[in-house]
Structure 1
Amino acid sequence: MSDPDVQSTDRSELSPEQRLEPQNTRLINAGIVTIHDMETLRACVAYENANQQRVQILRRLEDRASEIRAQDD
């Protein structure tokens, strides 16, 4: 039997596609706000650059990067 803690962690991790592709902009914003580390943020930027290249989304990701950096200081 698998460890339930591992399963719950896996379920809470969203891929860049899951964070950035919903049609509802509120869900996209929620996906960006819930990014807590630079690795995930970079993956989302890379995904957006490779797919949609939406300036508004890239700006939101840039703002989130600034927030994460400020928390790390």
Structure 2
Amino acid sequence: MVRRLIVTEHAEPTESSGLTPEQRLSATNTHLLRANIVTIHDIETLRRCVAYENANQNRQPILRQLAERATELREE
């Protein structure tokens, strides 16, 4: 599957899934949260998700999962 960035005039680039950090991280179901994290395929999206989490909910388990995903992306 090819991933493309979508850029609009008034929006930050997002993955072709079109999910914002808020949409990825607002789920209350832990399985859905995990799925939303493992489907992050670029560092920029991951950085925006970390910034969102730090600014809004600051949940340490979610930040740890994001850190693990960052490690995985760097190794790829």
Q: What TM bracket, shorter-length normalisation? A: 0.7 to 0.9
Deviations for 1:16-61, whole angstroms, at most 9, x for unmatched residues?
Answer: 0111011111111010000000000000000000000000000000
Q: Whose relative contact order is higher, 1 or 2, with alpha carbons under 8 Å and at least 6 apart?
A: 1
Unaligned 5+ residue runs, structure 1? 1-5
Larger radius of gyration: 1
Matches within 5 A, 1:4-23: 12-23=17-28
Letter in structure 2 aligned against 1:45: V
Residue in 2 that maps onto 1:3: none
**TM-score, length-normalised on structure 2?**
0.78
Q: Give the number of the structure whose residues are more often helix, by fraction.
A: 1
Aligned CA-pair RMSD: 1.6
Q: Share of identical aligned residues, percent?
A: 62
Runs of 4+ in 1 over 3 A off after TM superposition: none
Matches within 5 A, 1:1-73: 12-71=17-76
**Structure 2 alignment gaps of length 5 or more:** 1-5, 7-14
